[in-house]
Amino acid sequence: MSMPPPPQNPGPYGRQPPHQPGPYGGQPPQAPGPYGSPYPQQQPYPAQQPYPGWGVPPMAPPPKKRRTGLVLGIVGGVVAAVVVLLLALGMVAESGFPAAEHKLTLPRTLLEGKYRLVDDLSGSEGRKISEEADGAWDAKDTHGVVGTYSPGGDETKGTLVVSGMYGRFKNTDEARRNMMKGAGEGDGATVAVPAKEFELDGVTIGCEVMTEEHLGTKITVPVCAWADGNTGATVAEVATAAMDQDPSDVDLEAFAHKTLTIRSEMRGPVG
């Protein structure tokens, strides 16, 4: 069954004007806005919808693959969630930046070789993350990394979407929580199981279960996120065998452990 092409977005992500609260109620920084020089003509994000929906911007028609529209929608959603992370990073002023010690890569396989890289979208979707971060007063040297993986490389079995960034960041706890909040506010997306936090091997991972409306059918999508001084990412999965699973039946702690493994496989030393 072929999917429709992804919906069109109204344009690039907007930027916050100075002296206004952030989209989630954070106090405005004393510096001139979280992204450097403001653009007076642009409108701020509405409070109830801080970023575009789960579609992706105009792009070449995707190949006719099963669930292509859904996969691109999920990609757009996790990219938007990372942009929410960037917005959250600009909410609280702190002094000093951590040293650049770690970066993210897209290995050929994830989860001990069970998932194989299908698409490296860092040059397109990842570039949006980097551009959004450019000039942010509490995010430096930022690089976007976006990729899709499938079990054994077979997209008919499901799709795992990883969307993140690496650089030098502040306010990571707030960022992680806002990523969870932002992921559930796209068009057609509903948070079915509210975000929970898991402390695993010294790493805090936030997870929630969303439902995504697709062709009149609700798809169950678990989402987890982490954020530290050098890296941050969201992980979302559409598993073919569990697309119609009751959200309350999703084992979020198990998905958090899965995300921790993905973090360890993607995150490595700089250089």
The Cα–Cα gap between 64 and 123 comes to: 21
The Cα–Cα gap between 221 and 110 comes to: 19
Nearest to 218 by CA among 242, 182, 250, 183: 242
Domain count, the chain: 1
Residue 204: φ, ψ to 5°:
-90, 125
Contact yes or no for 195/181 (Cβ under 8 A) = yes
Contact yes or no for 159/221 (Cβ under 8 A) = no
25 in any annotated domain: no
80 in any annotated domain: yes
47 in any annotated domain: no
Predicted local confidence at residue 87, as pLDDT? 63
Task: Decide: helix, strand or coil at residue 17.
Answer: coil
11 in any annotated domain: no
Task: Decide: helix, strand or coil at residue 253.
Answer: helix
Identify the domain containing residue 130 by its residue range: 68-91+100-269
- Tokens at residue 224, please? 């987890």
Calculate the average pLDDT of the chain: 75
Distances, alpha carbon 50 to alpha carbons 27, 39, 44, 234, 270, in Å: 16, 17, 9, 17, 32
CATH assignment at residue 169: 3.40.1000
pLDDT digits (tens, 9 = 90+) for 219-249: 999 999 999 999 999 999 999 999 999 999 9
Q: Look up the pTM and report it.
A: 0.67
Between 148 and 186, the higher pLDDT residue: 148
26 in any annotated domain: no
162 in any annotated domain: yes
Place of tokens 């105009």: 58
195 in any annotated domain: yes
* Least confident residue range of 51-55, 235-239, 257-261: 51-55
Q: Give the mean pLDDT of 34-48.
A: 39
52 in any annotated domain: no
